[in-house]
Structures are given as C-alpha cells and as structure tokens.
Amino acid sequence: MFEALGNKLQDILDRVGRESKLTDAQVKAAMREIRMALLEADVNFNVAKDFVAKVSEKAVGQEVQGSLTGGQTVVKLVHDELIETLGGESKQPTLKTDGNVWFMVGLQGAGKTTSTGKLAAFYKSKGRRVLLVAADTQRPAARDQLEVLAKQVGVPVLKVNDGETPQETRRRLDEYLKTDYRDLVIVDTAGRLQIDEALMDQLADLQTELHPSETLLVVDAMTGQEALNVARVFDERVNLSGLIITKMDGDARGGAALSARSVTGHPIYFAGTSEKLTGLEPFYPDRVAGRILGMGDVLGLIERAQQADLKAMEVKKPGDFDLEDLLLQLRQIRKMGPLGDLLKLIPGMSRALPEGFNVDEKQIQRIDAMISSMTVKERRNPKIIDGRRRKRIAAGSGHTVQDINRLLKMHEQMKDMMKMLQRFSGPGGKGMGKG
C-alpha cells in the first residue's frame, strides 16, 4: 500500500511538472490522488472531501516555491494543511496544581483501561499524586484489570461497587480524598462494543457528579471510518475536551485521528504505541500527517530540494558495530544518567553527531523505538534497509522516513568513529597492525 501511494504521488510530481503558478487543472489532478490517498488511509469520506476542497482553494494560483516543482508545492500545501487539521502543534491536557479529575471514555476495546494506566505512569513520573478510579459498575473483571495496572504503576485505585450510583461514587471519592491527598484523579469508565444510549446516559450522569476537568475520548486507530461517528456521538453526549488515539503501533495509517480530530475540533493529546505501560507518546501532528499520506519519501524529496547540499546517504561496508550494538549501548548509557555530558567526553563525538542532533532522553527513546521496529537481520546488517524497509520501520515506530535516515546516518558515523578509536586502543594494544 505504501508503495502504491508513493507511486501515485510521484505521478503527480511528473504530471504537474515545473510551472511558476499552479493551474486549476493541475490542482484538480493532484487533488484526485490526494483524496484517494486519504481514503486509503481510512480518513472518513466527508472529511477527505472537505479537506481537499480547502486545500484546492489555497493551491490554485499559488506560486511554485523556489527549487520545488509544481507537484512538490502541492504536496507541501497538503502536508501543511494536514498538520493544521490534526491540530498543528503537539498539545498537552490542562493540569491545574490541584483538583484535576480526568474522565476516560470510549468504546470497549479502544484502550481506555490501558491508557488510564499509561497516564498514571506518565504523570506519576512527573511528580503528580495520581489516584485511579475503576468506574465500570457492570464488569468486575474490568475493575480488576485497572487494579493490576495500578499496582504495576504504584498508584492507589478506588473501585466502584456493582450497580453503585454516580452519587455514591462521588461520595466515596470525596471520602477517599479526605484521607489521602491526590492532585490527579483519572476515572476509567465502562465501554460497549457499539454506541449505546444506556451507556451514554450512565456516563453523562457520572460526569455530572464528578465534574471532570478533562473528558478524554480514547479512539482505536484501527477503527478507521467508524472513528468519525464514535467521536461525534461521544462529543454530543459527554462534551469531550480532548482525544487519545491508541494502537498507532499497528498497521493503521492514522486516518481515524484525522476524522476524530476534524469532527470534534478537540486536540489529540496522546498516541498509544504499544500494549505496555510505557507505550504512550505525545501526539505529533507532523509525523502523523506524513504517515496518513504515506509520503515520507516525497517529503524527504522536498527537504532535499530545499537544502540542496544534503547528499544522499552513502551505503558503506558492514562493520562490527551494528544497530543491535547501538541499541544495547544506548540502553546501558540511559541507565547512567545525563547523557549529553557523558557523550561530550568522548573525543570527536560532537563532530560525529549530525547537525542538530541533541542527545537527550527523548531522543534515545525515539532511537530505541526505531531500532526496536527493525528485524534482527536489519539490525545486524543495516545495509539491507532499503526505501521500502525504511517506510515500514518508520510506520512501525511512529516516525518519519527522514527520522530513520538520520538514525542510519548517525549509526554510520558512530561506526566510523568506533573504528578510529579501535585503531588507537585496539585489543592488547596491537589494534593498529591487524588488517
């Protein structure tokens, strides 16, 4: 599918060619393909239609920019608009110093309970005192599931009783908070397989009692087309304030995110990227925009056109220092604390790292995610990681192809440096001679 889209977008580039202004016909031709790409990414039909109309309006008569071709200008416009539609900048939920109550809602299986656990871990690590509330009054198993997660995270959990009324839950929560101070209460609610009036009433009642400061809809990225409807109904019935999109580690392209965000207008705060408690990341509209259009490499083309001096990556002979080693080293270094300072101690390191490469905890996590998305074969022999594999790894780890390119380049540079260091301090001091 990625390949097919790549070809389509390449077609646009060829067809539109180099012109100084975009004509109506050119824009129409390009937009047909963009609409198809959106639909293939599971963006809702109406959302795709509106989106294309909006971009077309901006595109016609647009000056072709600098070193870009007409097609690239269109793609850039589409990409920018897609980022805008997905919310522009990455946003975080509002967090007051005290009295935060967050309400998690969504269909059964969307990932509410898992995300509740992830949020607890995330905010606990930021120094918050988190309490989880297991508010599924029908399924004891669901409450137990949250209790297990709470234990893993190390936060308390308040479980409602079977058939408990919202008033009773409110009273018990107040009671609890009198004896144990908590500044962030996250309430995991019941779900149904489909939208269900009785459930909506129940959620609305509990919401009225608890006055949550955030009501977060958890949407499964794999639900595709249905995401629009789910988001609309939940927003109508329980006034959402934000969204969390889960299972972005799967095959889904992210169309559900675009649909849910564009129908509700609420920010997408987080993306779920694995089943584990650590699998939660801030939602980055720019990354998902690239993923929706499956055009990581087309955007790369644009980047290269803009920075003409950026040379294509060289493929070098495989050395001993493979990506598996890099991953192991990073994980070890991570345990050792502030990394930037440590790396600066290694001679030549600051020069070896690519421009703009900041070594921080987040960066390490991203590199970890990217390498983790590779097969063992790829880690051992990065030479085989061609365009198609890069796309797969990028999609699998929630990154762009450029991110993968940067990682591979960095690895090459580190490998060279390792060789250099080895020459100076080879095993037994005779490293120099050995060929």
* Binding-site residue ranges for GTP: 106-113, 188-192, 246-249
User: Nearest Cα to 351, choosing from 421, 422, 413?
Assistant: 413
- The rounded distance, in Å, linking the Cα atoms of 370 and 366 is 6
Q: Is 396 in the site for ligand GDP (CB under 6 A)?
A: no
Indicate the residue among 72 and 113 with the shorter CB distance to ligand GDP.
113
Indicate the residue among 44 and 273 with the shorter CB distance to ligand GDP.
273
- The rounded distance, in Å, linking the Cα atoms of 93 and 243 is 10
Element (H, E) at 216: strand 214-220
- The gap between the terminal CA atoms of the chain, to the nearest Å, is 45
Q: Is 373 in the site for ligand GDP (CB under 6 A)?
A: no
Q: Is 189 in the site for ligand GDP (CB under 6 A)?
A: no
- The rounded distance, in Å, linking the Cα atoms of 350 and 339 is 13
Angle formed by the axes of helices 285-293 and 24-40, nearest 10°: 100
Of residues 90, 246, 373, 405, which one binds ligand GDP by CB under 6 A?
Answer: 246
The angle at the Cα of 79, spanning 75 to 80, to the nearest 5 degrees, equals: 120
Q: Is 191 in the site for ligand GDP (CB under 6 A)?
A: yes
Indicate the residue among 218 and 293 with the shorter CB distance to ligand GDP.
218
Beta bridge partners of 102: 186, 214
Q: Which does 273 bind (CB under 5 to 8 A by kind): ligand GDP, Mg ion, none?
A: ligand GDP
- How much is the CA Rg of the chain, to the nearest whole Å? 25
Q: Which does 407 bind (CB under 5 to 8 A by kind): ligand GDP, Mg ion, none?
A: none
Of residues 6, 255, 267, 272, which one binds ligand GDP by CB under 6 A?
Answer: 272
Q: Is 113 in the site for ligand GDP (CB under 6 A)?
A: yes
Structure tokens at 201: 């009433």
212 burial type by CB count under 10 A (0-12 exposed, 13-18 middle, 19+ buried): buried
Q: Is 187 in the site for ligand GDP (CB under 6 A)?
A: no
Of residues 93, 242, 279, 285, which one binds ligand GDP by CB under 6 A?
Answer: 279
Binding stretches for Mg ion (CB under 5 A): 112-113, 142
Binding site: which residues? 106-113, 188-192, 246-249
* Residue ranges in contact with ligand GDP by CB under 6 A: 106, 108-114, 191, 218, 246-247, 249-250, 272-275, 279
